[in-house]
Each structure stands twice: as structure tokens, then as C-alpha cells.
Chains A and B, each alone.
Chain A
Amino acid sequence: MGVFRGGPEGAAVADHDVSRRDFIKVTTTIVGGAIAAGLGVPAIVYQLDPAFKAGAKEGWVPVGKVADMQIGTPYPFFFTLVQVNGWERTSTGHGGFALRQSEDPNDILVLNSRCTHLACTVNWDAEAQEYICPCHDAVFSKEGAVLSGPPPRPLDQYSPFRVTDAGELEVFF
């Protein structure tokens, strides 16, 4: 019959304690268990993988040269951050105003232009010397204090910030 041969006869040999049937059962259980564990454990780790990963990267972001900022005048800046979530890149825009308060290059108020009410972006009104939010008419002073409108607290500040040796203002974000 060539290729298609039957297996050996299944009788247990007299001087063996384990019958063929029991041997098959035990072997199947062990091999099956090994396969299930070998596949199951990596599968669980695979499934839980994002939970083991560190959160979004933080770092120093340069926003402008201190030499370009006039004392007493808010200096607007913008930067975009690219976040990689799995296979997708999301870029988010951020902005603010750097206000030098004296000759000391470290004496800077770095305000976040995000309105503390509902997160619209406030604009600097040079004539009125105020930040005005276009959404709900919130008004902030040059230093970020609430003058009128619905915001619950003053403008947030970027903190910490630093001035590099090259004279660059950087915020930690």
C-alpha cells in the first residue's frame, strides 16, 4: 500500500507500567499546556503592552530669544508639539506671552495664552494693554490677573522655564 501505512498495534507491552493510552493522555496534557502557556503569556503581555509604556515625552522647548523681547511688552510665541500615539502622530499647538519685567534676563513672566475659562486663546490688545479672550469677553491684565469676565483664575504660567547661555528662553513642557 506504500505511502498510507497503518500505525503500530496499540497493545500495552506487559513489562511497562504506563499503558499507551495513559502515556498519550499525559503527553497531550503536557504538550498542550506548554503550547497554551507559551502562547498565552506573550499574548497577555501583548494585550497589556501600552500600560507598561512611559507617558508622553517631556522636555525643554525653545520659544524665543530674550534679546528680542522688550521690557514691559508681552512677546507672543507659539510652538507645536508632535505626540506619537502608537501609529498616529498628533500635533498640538501651544502659545503664550513672555513678559520681561526688568533688565535681569531671568525676571520673566511666561504666561500661557490659554484662557482659564474654556481654553480659547487670548490676544494681546496693545492699545488697552490687556489680554482679551474672543470667546466670552474675558479680560486679563498684562501680568495675567483677571480684570473682568468669567475666568475662575489668572492666566497660567509656563513653569519651570530657563534662559540658556545662548540667550534663548525655554519652557518645560
Chain B
Amino acid sequence: MWKRIYEWLDERLDLRGLYKNTLDRPEPKGNWWNTLGSATLFLFIVQVATGIFLATYYTPSPDHAYDSITYIMTDVRFGWLIRGIHHWAATLMVILVFVHMVRVFATASFKYPRELTWLIGMGLLLLTFLMGFTGYLLPWTQRSYWATTVGTQIAGTVPFIGPFILKVLRGGTDLSALTLQRFFSAHIWMLPVALGALIAVHIYLIARQGESYWPRKED
């Protein structure tokens, strides 16, 4: 029964080919340093899942943002767990993408034909930082308020267009409800969608080109 369902699906979807090309593809040599990208992908999926759950209770308004998070942490069953995972996985993800980048750099894996994978990876690194930056404001605590004040102020020091960037980031000259709302929309829509799209291309390139060989002494 299950076999027939599987056969039916396989005939149309080529599940075997999919499996072979993604999970069963030949690797140059087993190495834990080559698992950092997968680990980051796992964290991204965890962040999407826990983020979606947090959105059930969180509200991005200056009046209620902090209260809604207090509610998640104290009153909702397992709220502490969902938010705890989101918080710590975010920190870990920033660390992992950075170590992943260092690994790729150290093994010279960014060279031909993988320049595009590297460039997209740079985009992913930037987007991950932006996720951290926008997510930091959402609890609307003193710490997040002033961190965002300082962060946007730094962006505002760009010559000539600085004041313009500052106003775009804050949705005005000062931190306000508009800032919180646009950081929220960036955090849950724009940045994740961009991240997801770039991750898809990143993984496609890896599946297509395979992993790079570990450099030998003579390289």
C-alpha cells in the first residue's frame, strides 16, 4: 500500500533523484567543518518556526510590545521555551554564519566556480545581521530602545545621505511607533523572505557544484 503510494509519487516527483542529489550526493571527505552551513540552515528553520509562534501573542505597539512579551514569558504555557529558543538560536545563528564564512575563507572554497555562492553568502551574512538588529528592538525595553537609537544614529553618520537613511530607518527623525512597526515588518516579512530566497539559490548552487575539495599541501 505505502509502497504503491510511494511509487506513484516517485514516478511523478522523482523522489529518488531528489534524495540522491541532496542527501546522498558524493562528498569529498567527511569533515565536521563542512556541516556549519547545514547547522545554520537548521537554525534558520527553527527561527522561522518559533518566530511564527511568537507572532501569535506579540504585538508591535509601543503601548503593548513589552506587556505582550511579559505575557508570553509568564502566562502562556511554554512561552518561555518558544521565546528562549528564538532568542538563543538567534545569537547562535550569528556566530555560526560567521564561523561558516571563516571556514569557507580558510579553505579557499570561494574560488571558481563558487564565487556566486560566496557572494550570496555575503548577502546572507548581512541579512542575518539585519535580522538581529531589527529583532533586538521588538521587546521595546530600555536596552533595545537605546541600542536602536545608537544603531540608527551610526547609520545616520553616512556623508550627505546620512540624515535621509536615518529617517528611512526610524520612519521619522525620532524613535517612535513607526520605528517599531517598520522594524517588525522588516523582521517578520522582508528580511525572512529575502533570506529564504537567497538560501534557496545558495543551496541549489551547492547541490549543483558539490562541496569543494579540502586544499592539499601542493595547492
Contact = CB atoms under 8 A, between A and B. Distances in A.
Interface of A: 4-8, 10, 39, 42-43, 45-47, 49, 52, 86-88
A49 B32 contact: no
A6 B53 contact: no
Contacts of A47: 53, 56
Interface of B: 29-33, 46, 49-50, 53, 56-57, 59, 64, 67-68, 70-71, 75-79, 81-82, 85, 103, 106-107, 214
A46 B82 CA distance: 8
Dominant secondary structure of chain B at its interface with chain A: helix
A45 B77 contact: yes
Contact of B78 (A8, A45, A88): A45
A6 B213 CA distance: 11
Contact of B31 (A6, A45, A49): A6
A42 B64 contact: no
- The 10 A-B residue pairs whose C-beta atoms are closest, nearest first, are A87-B67, A42-B78, A7-B30, A46-B78, A87-B71, A87-B68, A6-B29, A49-B76, A49-B77, A45-B77
A107 B57 CA distance: 48
A86 B30 contact: no
A7 B31 CA distance: 5
Contacts of A49: 76-79
A45 to B, nearest CB: 5
Given A7-B29, A7-B31, A43 B68 contact: no
Nearest to B58: A87
B32 A43 contact: no
Nearest to A10: B30
23 contacts: A4-B31, A4-B33, A4-B107, A6-B29, A6-B30, A8-B30, A10-B30, A39-B49, A42-B81, A43-B49, A43-B50, A43-B82, A46-B56, A46-B76, A46-B78, A46-B79, A49-B76, A49-B77, A49-B78, A49-B79, A87-B70, A88-B64, A88-B67
Contacts, number: 58
Contacts of B81: 42, 46
Contacts of A39: 46, 49, 85
A73 to B, nearest CB: 44
A12 B71 CA distance: 53
Contacts of A87: 59, 64, 67-68, 70-71
Nearest to A53: B75
B49 A86 contact: no
A43 B57 CA distance: 13
Contact of A86 (B68, B82, B107): B68
Given A4-B33, A86-B68, A87-B68, 14 more contacts: A4-B107, A6-B30, A43-B49, A43-B50, A43-B53, A43-B82, A46-B56, A46-B77, A46-B78, A46-B81, A49-B76, A86-B57, A87-B59, A87-B70
